[in-house]
């Protein structure tokens, strides 16, 4: 703390005008300039103020939000996980495979209009500079992202090292794009075995199957996809693919039909309501007692 001796009120006023721009916001003058103190001594802070330590991650968020032109990628802030009890509420988990692709944006737009959340199982090769914004939208809008391998092979046909590479490369690509470490995995074609399950467990990934298949990859018919998806029951996991325009066009109708029947649209993790066991295979919840469908 520095001390400066001044005489009279005019001297104190002049000093205040001189130092105010330098100390404003950093503790300011510690003594009132309107009242004389001990022989007209005014004490001015000459050291940095002591502030409580803050979380560096929160500091990054505040600084970036305050400066829209800040260089680099803006950090993602996902909405909080909802407290939905699917053993008491009619829930359905819509899932989309093989993207992100050109029609992923239309699917996200429709989900946003209905306040619906879904789970997207992404292929690592599809994560490109042109598609990264879709992944970031998924996170910021409360959707869940799962691993669907690097380039969609039948994983049981690969050696263990090959399966590990397929999962690991996709994990790294999505984490680099979003900061998210995926906890779910859908084997391409639903093809799995003990070797695939072992590698999934090592990667911390639960295997997610389905109990409603819209066959949208084969039948590019919007009305047919809508009808098949709308037949879902409470606890269903519905399989679709956001790489097809006919599927993107079907989403408004199926959301409208299921909402009219009182369904809540949830992510896979919300459907189960707890952390899923890595390596274990799940295929939807059935019935009102909350029994878990597994394979």
Residues acting as catalytic residues: 97, 241
Alpha-carbon distance 55 to 145, whole Å?
A: 26
Alpha-carbon distance 108 to 235, whole Å?
A: 22
Q: Residue-wise over 131-144: b if at least 16 C-beta within 10 A, else e?
A: bbebbbbbbebbbb
Alpha-carbon distance 221 to 251, whole Å?
A: 12
* Rounded alpha-carbon distances, angstroms, from residue 174 to 129, 139, 141, 182, 201: 12, 11, 16, 8, 18
Alpha-carbon distance 239 to 228, whole Å?
A: 10
- Structural contact between residues 188 and 155, judged by C-beta atoms closer than 8 angstroms: yes
């Amino acid at each position: 703390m520095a001390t400066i001796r001044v005489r009279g009120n005019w001297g104190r006023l002049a000093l205040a005008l001189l130092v105010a721009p330098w100390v404003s916001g950093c503790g300011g003058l510690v003594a009132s300039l309107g009242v004389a103190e001990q022989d007209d001594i005014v004490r001015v802070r000459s050291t940095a103020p002591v502030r409580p330590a803050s979380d560096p991650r929160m500091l990054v968020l505040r600084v970036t939000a305050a400066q829209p032109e800040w260089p680099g990628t803006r950090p993602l802030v996902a909405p909080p996980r909802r407290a939905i009890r699917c053993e008491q509420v009619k829930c359905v988990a819509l899932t989309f495979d093989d993207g992100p692709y050109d029609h992923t944006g239309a699917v996200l737009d429709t989900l946003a209009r209905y306040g619906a959340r879904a789970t997207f199982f992404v292929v690592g090769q599809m994560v490109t500079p042109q598609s990264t914004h879709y992944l970031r939208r998924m996170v910021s809008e409360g959707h869940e992202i799962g691993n669907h391998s690097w380039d969609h092979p039948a994983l049981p046909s690969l050696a263990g090292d090959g399966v590990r590479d397929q999962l690991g490369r996709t994990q790294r690509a999505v984490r680099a794009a979003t900061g998210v470490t995926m906890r779910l995995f859908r084997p391409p074609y639903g093809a799995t075995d003990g070797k695939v399950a072992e590698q999934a467990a090592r990667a911390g990934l639960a295997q997610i199957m389905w109990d409603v298949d819209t066959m949208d990859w084969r039948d590019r018919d919007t009305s047919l996809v809508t009808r098949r998806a709308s037949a879902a029951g409470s606890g269903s996991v519905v399989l679709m693919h956001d790489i097809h325009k006919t599927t993107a066009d079907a989403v408004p109708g199926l959301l409208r039909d299921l909402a009219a029947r009182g369904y809540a649209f949830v992510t896979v993790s919300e459907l189960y309501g707890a952390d899923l066991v890595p390596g274990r295979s799940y295929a939807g919840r059935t019935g009102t007692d909350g029994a878990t469908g597994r394979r």
